[in-house]
Structure 1
Amino acid sequence: MTQRRSGTRTPARLGRRRPLRPGRILTFVGLLVLSLVWIYPFIWLLSASVKDSSEIFGSGLDLIPDEFVWENYLRAWTEAGFASYFVNTVLITAGTVLVVVVRSALAGYVLGRYDFPGKKLLIGVFLVTFFLPEGYTIIPVTQLTDQLGLLNTHAGVILGLGAGGQIASTLLYAGYFRGLPKELEESAKLDGAGPFRTFFQIMMPMAWPITATVVILTFLFAWNTYLLPLVFTLSEPDLRTLAIGMTVFVGEYGQDWSGMAAAAVISLIPVVVVFVVLQRKFVDSIAGAVKQ
């Protein structure tokens, strides 16, 4: 009888590397060039933020400054008032995200799980309002906020940004909740859970990938929006956001380009951090690979 040799056996193909094909190399080089072209404006902004204003456009494509001027960040943070603008933007953005997530999830849950008269008409109205530019609704929103006594306040800006249609977020939740099995609600009802407890303790935690997507989209919208916070804080400059604060660097006889670049980098840092933290859930939600 032939005895089998004990021990681990290495597969014949283990350790072999796939040969680099010309097509694969060309694809890699092409993607690398496109990535560099895509990221170049951000690198240029970082470089401009530590340059002197006269050097920004005089150095051409040279990204390395002759001398690093870190005072640009200090000037933007203190002299231009970006410290208070940053706090205002964080408060307004956090409040807007909270309002949008809660109301969009509740509305999406109703649209996705229940049938009621006029449901299709309501969805049609939502879709119509989705295409309305912000400028068409700014006047009635401002008048309503003024009548509520919330104009020139953080709460007024938050309600103005978060209490609108938010159709995309609502439909995202509706589509997700529609695909969940009905047995979840039936089991919760047997355990004595009411509608709100079922929603907040069962449905909402399962919709975390959708919530991450809504948080990112709403965060970007609220952080970078300009028109509504400008109108709502015309008589209260101390309530300005970072987007409005950029106008501080534009004067009657010139612009402080280096200070503006430093301020832009400051305003971009939270956006990058939020996207890095939530990007996995964001990609999974968009791709439809929702993991429960």
Structure 2
Amino acid sequence: MSTVSAPSRRWRVGRRSDVARRDVSLRRRVPVWVLTLVVTLVALAWVYPFAWMVSASLKDQLEVFSAGLDLIPKVAQWENYRRAWSDAGFGTYMVNTIIVTLGTVVIVVVRCAMAGYVLARYKFIGHKTMLLVLVGTLFVPAGYTIIPVVEITQRLGLLNSLTGMVIALSGGGQVASILLYLGYFRGIPRELEEAAIIDGAGFFTVFFRVMLPLAGPVTATVVVLTFLNTWNAFLLPLVFTFSRPDLRTLSVGMQAFLGQNSVDWSGMAAAATISIVPIVLLFLFLQRYFFDGIAGAIKS
């Protein structure tokens, strides 16, 4: 039985009608072609730097500056990509980055999903305090934690290794990912868990076979966010590869184009294009799940 009074319902209906009328009047005042033009200009301004980067990767060193904002190279210099991949060692850096990123994504997804599930489904002493502490860590700069992270990793004997880099990158708070899982799991009916428990399923069985598969959209969101952050991470990989240049990731390896007296801009543009392609492909493949996951967590 509804507990909302008739005046309250009429007020809500009237408010929605007012909003609809304002939207219609706005569309009448602003023609569709004007809105389309504005959105197109904003999109071009957003995309242009990426298009210029790809264009610069196909130009020689002099044309990068002489051509100005022109996007069409006179002669495509594919040699820039060969130089970036082989001479600058980006083939090795790509393999290192893939290993570190995939390892970090797997650990972060499992850890954040379990943390979000426990915080969403179980009440215990200090539950709210833990949530406040997690949210509070969002305001702590990453540079403040670099020294203890390196110290702990060094004592474990993992400082100059890809394994240590994965542990360091996946050991952060990842508060946003935990909160996404928390919000999503709160919206799942408890009857699903209860049915699995009646069938004899334990905690891990319920989590891995029931709850985690249902959180597919959130998992896709966390995968994209973690992949992006890890792929572009610079500070920790830089510290972990001071004495092991062969373990550099793409973001750290970009420094190979910075000379003492000059910068190889065309080679750097080619390297940047190579490094951004996997991120674009991943987002295009998971974009529907990415937006569904964020919408589902916020709605819950």
Match of 1:207 among 215, 224, 230: 215
- Structure 1 SS opposite 2:293: helix
Which residue is 2:92 aligned to? 84
1:153 aligns to 2:161 (yes or no) = yes
Q: Is the 8 A contact 2:108 2:226 kept in 1?
A: yes
Q: Is the 8 A contact 2:59 2:75 kept in 1?
A: yes
Match of 1:174 among 174, 182, 186: 182
- Structure 2 SS opposite 1:288: helix
What is the alpha-carbon distance in structure 2 between the residues aligned to residue 172 and residue 290 of structure 1? 8
Match of 1:276 among 284, 295, 300: 284
For residue 290 of structure 1, report the CA deviation from its aligned partner: 9.6
Percent identity reads 57
What is the alpha-carbon distance in structure 2 between the residues aligned to residue 136 and residue 39 of structure 1? 34
Q: Is the 8 A contact 2:180 2:294 kept in 1?
A: no
Which residue is 1:3 aligned to? none
Unaligned 5+ runs, structure 2: 1-26
Which residue is 1:195 aligned to? 203
Scaled by the length of structure 2, the TM-score of the pair is: 0.88
Q: Is the 8 A contact 1:284 1:290 kept in 2?
A: no
Structure showing greater radius of gyration is: 1
1:41-88 residue CA offsets vs partner (Å, 9 max, x unmatched): 011011000000111111112111111100000000000000000000
- Structure 1 SS opposite 2:189: coil
1:222-255 residue CA offsets vs partner (Å, 9 max, x unmatched): 0001000100111100000000001000001100
What is the alpha-carbon distance in structure 1 between the residues aligned to residue 130 and residue 37 of structure 2? 50
- Higher helix proportion, which one? 2
Q: Is the 8 A contact 1:100 1:162 kept in 2?
A: yes
Which residue is 2:134 aligned to? 126
Unaligned 5+ runs, structure 1: 1-19
1:155-208 residue CA offsets vs partner (Å, 9 max, x unmatched): 100000001111111111111111211111110011111110010000000000
Scaled by the length of structure 1, the TM-score of the pair is: 0.91
What is the alpha-carbon distance in structure 2 between the residues aligned to residue 228 and residue 115 of structure 1? 35
Q: Is the 8 A contact 1:141 1:160 kept in 2?
A: yes
State the Cα RMSD in Å: 1.6
What is the alpha-carbon distance in structure 1 between the residues aligned to residue 296 and residue 110 of structure 2? 22
Number of equivalenced pairs? 272
Which residue is 2:76 aligned to? 68
